[in-house]
Structure 1
Amino acid sequence: MERFVTIRPKSKLISKYVSYYYFHDSDEMDFKKNFLFYPHFKHGFTVYQEPEGIRTLFTMNYDQQMTVELKGVFHKIGVAFNPLGINQFISKPISELYDPVKRSFSHWNPDIIPELKEVFQIADLHQKSQLLDQIFERRFNLNPKLVILEQALNLIFESFGTIQVDELSEQIGVSRKTLLRHFRKHLCCSIEEYKKVVKFRTSIQAASSMGAKNLTEISLYSLYYDQSDFTNRFKELTGQNPSAFFASIRQMGEEDIFWKFDE
């Protein structure tokens, strides 16, 4: 049987930086599924328990649809970090630690591996979640240098990704060059890439939580320039027009996880 459950952190400290955990597993030997996941401003730390041991992946995905293949019996834990969340648990800029090609993030290895093994040994999902809280509490390392980026992200989210870079730098009081450098250093993307994925995810949120099924309503709520802009941006990020995309995705758990499964 396949199981997928999302649980939010109970720790007040960790809940500021981790949006939710998800637990995905199957005990079916003949299990086989392929799915696509899409760009997000949240960053994912994924842990697999395999016969060879623990395998971890880290994903910062602003512009691609990525394919995952699941076969046979598997046990998987996902950690969804809020914007700049991962940055509060490391001692160096994320750009120095993350390999986007291999999706590797070795900063915590190997010391985190024995702790993750303990999580997999626990049956109760809420106890698993609490142990994950404790793992991240031990690694918490508040970075006060991220204030500029925090201000920038707040303005981007408030505008649904429509604010211009010049206006952004003016409101924060730093140069455009400084702002661009901070995005590359701590978020591994450009400002325009980030704005684009915020608007994309705003559209998905409108379609799912607000019950807005009309594409015109969704595009207006998400502040796309016009219907053509709405369609073009979706094709760019998903390979589909908005109508086909919304018809094909499936929400997993109770959070903002939307995957497309191969039928």
Structure 2
Amino acid sequence: MERFVTIRPENERISNYISYYYFHDSDDSDFERTFVFYPHFKHGFTVYREEDTFRTLFTMNYDRQLSVELKGEFHKIGIAFNPLGINHFISGSLTGLYDSQTFQFSHWNPDIFPELEKVYDSQDLHHKRDLLDALFEKRLRPNPDLKVVQQAVKLIFDSFGTIQVDELASEIGGSRKTLLRHFKKHLCCSIEEYKKVVKFRTSIRAASNSGLKNLTEVSLYSLYYDQSDFTNRFKELTGQSPGTFFASISQMGEEDIFWKFED
């Protein structure tokens, strides 16, 4: 039987940086399922329990659809970090901490393994959440170097991804070069890439939560230039038209997890 559930952090400090946790597992040895997930401004830390150890992965996905195949029994914990959230739990930048091809991420290993064991052993969802809150609070550290890019990210969200780079630099009071460097260091992407994914996810949120009646309203709400721009940007990020994309995705749990399951 497959199970999937989401829950938000209870700890107020941690909720500033982590959007939600999810728990996904199956006890069916014959289980087989493949799903596709799409670009997001949130970063994912994923833990698989495998016999007597853990496999830890980290995903930053700004520009493409990625496919995951699940077979047999599996036990998975997902942590969705808010923008720049994970940067408050590491020293320095993300660059070099994970493998962009395999997504292997061992920055906290094996130090966190005993704590993860307790999370997996607990049968109570709220207790699992509290254990994860404690795990991350223990590793929370101030990072004043994030101030510039935090200001830029807020302005990008406030504008639904439409603000120009020169305007960003002017609003923050810094140079364009410094701003671009900070984005590469802390978010591992360009500002233009980040703007595209913010606008894309704004569209998904608008279509799923705002009660807009059709895709034309979604494109207008999300501030795409016109319907052609809306369609082209979706094809660029998903390989599909907006209509095909929205018809194919399923929401998992109660958060902004939208996957497409393949036959």
> TM-score normalised to the size of structure 1?
0.98
Matches within 5 A, 1:206-221: 206-221=206-221
Q: Shift of residue 213 of structure 1?
A: 4.2
Which segment is superposed worse, 216-225 or 206-215?
206-215
> 1: CA distance between counterparts of 2:52 and 2:249?
32
> 1: CA distance between counterparts of 2:29 and 2:101?
30
Which position in structure 2 is the counterpart of 1:13?
13
> 1: CA distance between counterparts of 2:56 and 2:126?
21
Counterpart amino acid of residue 76 in structure 1: K
> 1: CA distance between counterparts of 2:89 and 2:157?
23
Which position in structure 2 is the counterpart of 1:155?
155
Which position in structure 2 is the counterpart of 1:60?
60
Which position in structure 1 is the counterpart of 2:237?
237
Q: Shift of residue 3 of structure 1?
A: 0.8
Which segment is superposed worse, 235-244 or 106-115?
106-115
1:109 to 2:109 alignment: yes
1:167 to 2:159 alignment: no
Which position in structure 2 is the counterpart of 1:48?
48
String of CA shifts for 1:147-199, please: whole Å, max 9, x gaps: 11110001000000000000000110111110000000000000000000000
Q: Shift of residue 105 of structure 1?
A: 2.0
Q: Secondary structure at the match of 2:123?
A: coil
Counterpart amino acid of residue 78 in structure 2: G
Give identity over the alignment, percent.
72
Q: Shift of residue 104 of structure 1?
A: 2.0
Which position in structure 2 is the counterpart of 1:27?
27
Which position in structure 2 is the counterpart of 1:259?
259
Counterpart amino acid of residue 235 in structure 1: K
Q: Shift of residue 118 of structure 1?
A: 1.6
Counterpart amino acid of residue 3 in structure 1: R
- Which consecutive segments of 4 or more residues in structure 1 shift more than 4 A? none
Counterpart amino acid of residue 126 in structure 1: H
Which structure 1 segments of 5+ residues have no match?
none
Counterpart amino acid of residue 147 in structure 1: K
Counterpart amino acid of residue 183 in structure 1: F
> 2: CA distance between counterparts of 1:213 and 1:45?
35
1:134 to 2:134 alignment: yes
Which position in structure 2 is the counterpart of 1:98?
98
Q: Shift of residue 103 of structure 1?
A: 0.9
Counterpart amino acid of residue 202 in structure 1: T
> 1: CA distance between counterparts of 2:262 and 2:33?
7
String of CA shifts for 1:200-253, please: whole Å, max 9, x gaps: 000000000112240100000000011111001000100100000000000000
Q: Shift of residue 123 of structure 1?
A: 1.0
Q: Secondary structure at the match of 1:148?
A: helix
Which segment is superposed worse, 49-58 or 129-138?
49-58
Which segment is superposed worse, 93-102 or 238-247?
93-102
Which position in structure 2 is the counterpart of 1:79?
79
> 2: CA distance between counterparts of 1:160 and 1:180?
19
Q: Shift of residue 15 of structure 1?
A: 0.5
Counterpart amino acid of residue 216 in structure 1: T
> 1: CA distance between counterparts of 2:218 and 2:239?
18
Counterpart amino acid of residue 176 in structure 2: R
Which structure 2 segments of 5+ residues have no match?
none
Which position in structure 1 is the counterpart of 2:144?
144
Alpha-carbon RMSD across the aligned residues, in angstroms, is 0.9
> 2: CA distance between counterparts of 1:175 and 1:106?
34
